[in-house]
Structure 1
Amino acid sequence: MPDRTEDVIDQLHALMHLFKDRMRQALNVDGGGLGPTEARALRFFSHHPGSTQQDLVAHSGRDKAQITRIVQQLMERELLAREPDPNDGRRFNLQLTKKGLALQEAMHTQRKKLAADMLRDLSKDERQQLGGLLERMRESAEGSSTAASERIASR
């Protein structure tokens, strides 16, 4: 039987783009004009209230200047607010405003609807199995990139 590895990767790639396109459409409807990167930043702060801009840089892998612009745009739109860190006066903690929270909830509803649409033909057991398989794939990929980085560093 032929190795279908490339087919699986192609299917994952196509599925990812389909998901991103549908989320982009949802952003146009319920996202208040946010771009995908701004929406991801808003989602990060909804899951990690009180995090810093540097936390988002570390989480996203984006450069500091880009994250600074995104945070500034979210603050200008009154979706994100910053407060001095009580433990370190040089840092600011960021959290969603009421307006940001309402927008995030609307986007979360769209995300859940899209996920339900994409998974509706899979049984609960199949969804759990798929989740486990995808997690193992991610771990393998992360392990491969870590090993490659270590090989390069040891040269």
Structure 2
Amino acid sequence: MPADHPLPDIAERLWDLSHRFKARLRASLMEGAPDLAPFQAKALSAIGRFPGLLPNQLADRSGRDKAQIARVLKDLEERGLIARSPHPTDRRTHCLTLTPAGEEVFRHLQHSRMQIAGQMMDGLSPAEQQQVSALLARMAANLAGPDRQD
């Protein structure tokens, strides 16, 4: 790869952006839910965005294994942040929803995420924001899929 090739710079910028975004989210998490670990917050946010989410769907969305998901869900349930209800057609699983306490934490997390995203996109026009979103989605799709080995 030539020395002036843009890929290393792009990768470095994506790494830096991701690190800064996550650091801001962690700081916000410490304000709104100081005893919640980052993955617990991520799981709670997924359940908040997709009420009725199934544990296996959460595992698929997060890339975590079933045992990790089971531990996180148990902890969130013990904290009174999520509730499990029977699945209407599959007795082997259950649907996940937020409790009122979980909704409060979720609202804080969503508000923080939107504030940070707004800061990140400051100075970009709506068209540029859509373009960034589309490009990032394409880049993520390039890395997704079970047959990607490179």
Match of residue 39, structure 2, among 37, 40, 45: 37
Q: Residue 149 of structure 2 corresponds to which residue in structure 1?
A: 148
- Which of these residues, 79, 96, 107, is aligned with residue 109 of structure 2? 107
Structure 1: gaps spanning 5 or more residues: 150-155
CA RMSD of aligned residues (A): 1.8
What are the Cα deviations for residues 80-123 of structure 1, in whole angstroms up to 9, with x where unaligned? Answer: 01111222233221110011011101110011000111111212
Query: Percent of pairs identical after alignment?
Result: 36
Q: Indicate which of 6, 14, 19 corresponds to 2:21.
A: 19
1:147 CA drift (Å)? 4.0
How many Å separate the matches in 2 of 1:17 and 1:80? 28
Q: Say which one has the larger Rg.
A: 1
Separation in 1 of the partners of 2:130 and 2:89?
A: 41
User: What's the offset of the Cα at 1:64?
Assistant: 1.2
Q: TM-score, normalised by structure 2?
A: 0.90
SS of 1:88's partner is coil
Number of the residue aligned with 1:118: 120
- The structural deviation recorded for 1:2 is 2.2
TM-score scaled by length of structure 1: 0.88
Give the whole-Å Cα distance in 2 for the aligned partners of 1:29 and 1:122: 28
Secondary structure of residue in 1 paired with 2:18: helix
The 1-side partners of 2:139 and 2:53 are apart by: 29
List aligned pairs for 1:38-57, cutoff 5 A: 38-57=40-59
Q: Which residue of 2 aligns with 1:5?
A: 7
| Matched AA of 1:66 | Q
Which has the larger share of helix?
Answer: 1
Gapped regions of structure 2 (runs ≥ 5): none
